[in-house]
Structure formats: C-alpha cells, structure tokens
Structure 1
Amino acid sequence: MIKRAFLPLLLLASSLASAAELTEMEIRWIKAGSAVLAYAKQELKLPLDITVQPQARPTDVPLALGYDNGRCKLVLSMRGNPNAEDILDNVAEAQRPLMIEAMVAHEIGHCWRYAQGSWHAVPAGFEERPSQPASHALRDTRREEGFADLVALAWIQQRHPDQYATVASWMQQVRQPSPATGSHSTLTWLHLAPTGAAFASGLPLFEQADRLWRQGLLQDE
C-alpha cells in the first residue's frame, strides 16, 4: 500500500505509468528520494517531472536527468533492467535508501543548473586552459557531474551529517577510474570535500556546492 505522504510525489509520474502502476522498485527509489524531491518542488520551485520508462534499454542507467521544453525530467529506467541496482551491490541493505537519496540530490543538482541557464557554463572571468575541440564535450559533462556530486554531498551534510563519511566514501568508490571514466570521473571535486566541514553551512545548498566546484575547475584538466 502506498503511504499517503508519498502520493503527491508518486503522482508526478508521467502518463507512461500512473502511481498505482509503479513497481515496487520504483516506489522504493522515489520514497528514498522523497525529501529531496519535496525540497526541489516546494522550496526551490524547480520545474520537475518524474518519467518512468516502460522498458529500459541496455545502456540505460536506473536514474537520470533530462531537460525538455523548460522542464526537468527525472527518468527512472528500471523495468526490464536486471542491473538497475548494481550500483548498490556493495551497500548494506539498511544504507541503500541513503545512497539513493544522494543520487536523487545529484540529479536535482543537474536540474538546478538547467533551470538557472548555467548548463555547461563556467563562472565569469574563468579562463579555459587550451584543449582539443574533441575533448570539450567530455570536459563540459565532467564538470556538470562534479557540480552535481558536490550538491549531493552538501545535501547529505545538511540532512544526515552523521552519515557523511559513509556516503562520501561510497561516492568515491563509484567514481574510481573503473567503471567511472572520462565524463564521470569527478574525483577532482570529491577530494575537495573529504568531510562535511568543507561546506560553508551558513550558505544555501547550491552556493555551498558552487564554492567548491569553482575550486575544482582550477584543477580539472
């Protein structure tokens, strides 16, 4: 039975699947990320929809963020995907909701950048290092992933400070050169936040992430 407290979030699901038709896994992931989603919708007023893929493709990740017609699309691709929860294989069952919450916060970091019109933009005055044109897309994506990872950690520090070390350690494992390479190799930014003390607690969530992100830009190749 779906708890009433989660119905507003479940009803964000697209016409591909109504709340009553969501799978157990989809409900579990949305429930784990419900605090982040409520924050994004109610406090940030982000234009956010939840979309459920009726059939995942072989290359789909379980959770992703897109942007279409001025709205963020949080896409769940879990149906027919036997590897949907592989990313949680080394996580204790009791801690899986926390890691899912961090992943949802990561995607909301992407949504915020889209909504601000800042996607693939760098701070004013930032000087790019010379690079090959072919690497520009990879570099730009890696920077966005770094920003979103910092948003996830800032969220955990704000809401679950006693669990920060656990989540930060897990994220570093996920972002190691294998399997994460290229556009998802964000260790430059993760190393800037080994503890929650790296974030300025008096600032809004995204400003906390942005301060460290700017430092990482100077180190990113």
Structure 2
Amino acid sequence: MLKILPSLLLAAATAAALPVSAAQLTPVETRWLNAAAPVLAYAKSVDLPIDIIVQPQAGPNDVPLAMGMADGRCKLVLSMRGNPQAETILDGVPDVQRDVLIEAMAAHEVGHCWRIVQGSWHALPAGFTEMGTEQADDPALLELSKQQRETRREEGYSDLVALAWIQRSHPAEYGRVHAWLQKVRDAQPHTHTSHDTRTWLRLAGQGAVFAGAGTPFEQVAPVWSAGLLHGE
C-alpha cells in the first residue's frame, strides 16, 4: 500500500515519530524491522532512498506497514501502536512462519518505492495503451474507477515483487507465501477493487516465472505485462 504524504504532513509525522532505535521500539516493531532488514539492505544496495518512520500512534485507517513519499524520498511507515491489524494480518500463521511473510510485505512496499523513483508510478509498460471507454452519468464515478484501476495495477506489480523476492531469497517458502498472499486477496468482498491482484497471482503460481536475470523489479516485468493483457 502506498501513502502519498504531503511534505508538511510528513515533516510533522517525522517530528512526532520515534527515532528508530532498539531502546524505544516495541517488541512488535523490532520484530517487523528485523524481518524486513534483508529487503531494506537490498534496497540500499540499489540506491533506493528509503527512510523509516515509526508512528507513536496508528490512525483509524492505517495499515501496519506502508510506503509514503515526500521530497524525493520513500518513507517506510510503521503504524503498529494501537493498531490491531499488526497482529490480525498474520492470524492463523504459526509464530515461526511469520518472519518470511513480514519480509514479503516489506518487499511489496519497496516495489512501490522502485516504481516512484523510476518515474513510472501509474505508467503502463512501453507498448501498452489504455483501451476501451467507460460510461457513467457522474464524472466522479469515472475518476474513481480510473484511480482504482491504476492502484490495482501498482498493487499487482508490488505483489509480484514480493513473490520474486521470496523466490530469490527463500525459494523453499515460495508456495506458502504465495498461498498466504492469495488468501489475503481472496478475502476482498468484490472483484476489480484497488487491491484485487488475483489476475497476477494466478500467473505467478510457480516461482519459476521469475527465472530471468536482473533485479526482482525487472524479473516481474513479463508477468506484470501478461496480467495487463489478461484483462486485469
């Protein structure tokens, strides 16, 4: 999930947020950051500008982990305190199996950062053009549909990045991570919503689809394009 934070809002959030130090982090925050550490180290190695913000109190609609953007830098925002989702998102998962799922979630967020830094946010791949027309009496409905479509494509891309990362770093865990992500997406009440990435998940049932050379961000390109062609 991406959070576009205005500069002033982000500055205020940064000032209020706690410094990322072991002495002030909660056990849940420490666990999530430790699990995300390999992804964040890789992001640094490919020069992605990522800062970490720990919110002292989650808002009513905050997800535990999200990527924000301000002043040309990505902001990985942890909203764990007072947020029941920090625990419920992993309900039913044995404790020893949770870290790899947190790592996958971090890779998903880093996928958002990559797209924005590359100047590709909401852009279709080369050779693709938006086709077809939608009709509605209310222009606001058309704009909402467009926003959901663009967000769905970005979420699909980042779900694939998460899976490509797992295939790269924990190939033996690929099937389990894919099944968990499929379960999360299947829980949505409607199809073609902003986070309905099931078209891409169906195409990525096996980790072998990411066998190409390059970074995880590059490995997902053929599968992402195929999902666009399959009427996402």
**TM-score with structure 1 length normalisation?**
0.89
- Quote the offset at 1:83 in angstroms: 2.9
Q: Provide the rounded CA distance (Å) in 2 between the counterparts of 1:180 and 1:74.
A: 28
Q: Is the 8 A contact 1:177 1:185 kept in 2?
A: no
* 1:202 and 2:202 aligned: no
Q: Provide the rounded CA distance (Å) in 1 between the counterparts of 2:169 and 2:65.
A: 21
Q: Provide the rounded CA distance (Å) in 1 between the counterparts of 2:85 and 2:227.
A: 32
1:116 corresponds in structure 2 to: 118
Secondary structure in 2 aligned to 1:191? Answer: helix
Secondary structure in 1 aligned to 2:168? Answer: helix
2:39 corresponds in structure 1 to: 36
Alignment of 1:19-168 (within 5 A): 19=21, 20-41=23-44, 43-132=45-134, 133-134=142-143, 135-168=145-178
Q: Provide the rounded CA distance (Å) in 1 between the counterparts of 2:132 and 2:115.
A: 24
Instruction: Give a deviation string over 1:135-168, Cα, whole Å, max 9, x none.
Output: 1100000000000000000000000001100000
How has the CA–CA distance of structure 1 residues 171 and 180 changed in structure 2, closer, same or farther, with 3 Å as cutoff?
farther
1:170 corresponds in structure 2 to: 180
**TM-score with structure 2 length normalisation?**
0.85
1:189 corresponds in structure 2 to: 200
Secondary structure in 2 aligned to 1:59? Answer: coil
Instruction: Give a deviation string over 1:53-77, Cα, whole Å, max 9, x none.
Output: 1111111100001111100010000
Query: What letter matches 2:155 in structure 1?
Result: E
Where does the alignment leave 5 or more consecutive residues of structure 1 unmatched? 1-13
Secondary structure in 2 aligned to 1:21? Answer: coil
- Quote the offset at 1:210 in angstroms: 1.2
Instruction: Give a deviation string over 1:55-107, Cα, whole Å, max 9, x none.
Output: 11111100001111100010000111133221100211111001000000000
Aligned-CA RMSD value: 1.6
* 1:214 and 2:215 aligned: no
1:17 corresponds in structure 2 to: 18
- Quote the offset at 1:200 in angstroms: 2.2
- Quote the offset at 1:185 in angstroms: 0.5
Q: Provide the rounded CA distance (Å) in 2 between the counterparts of 1:27 and 1:180.
A: 34
Secondary structure in 2 aligned to 1:50? Answer: strand
- Quote the offset at 1:180 in angstroms: 7.5
Determine what percentage of the aligned residue pairs are the same residue: 58
Q: Is the 8 A contact 2:188 2:196 kept in 1?
A: no
Secondary structure in 2 aligned to 1:58? Answer: coil
Q: Provide the rounded CA distance (Å) in 1 between the counterparts of 2:190 and 2:79.
A: 19
The count of corresponding residues between Structure 1 and Structure 2 is 208
Where does the alignment leave 5 or more consecutive residues of structure 2 unmatched? 1-13, 135-141
- Quote the offset at 1:204 in angstroms: 2.4
- Quote the offset at 1:25 in angstroms: 0.6
Q: Is the 8 A contact 1:192 1:212 kept in 2?
A: yes
Query: What letter matches 1:172 in structure 2?
Result: Q
Q: Provide the rounded CA distance (Å) in 2 between the counterparts of 1:164 and 1:180.
A: 26
Q: Provide the rounded CA distance (Å) in 1 between the counterparts of 2:133 and 2:112.
A: 24
Q: Is the 8 A contact 2:50 2:76 kept in 1?
A: yes
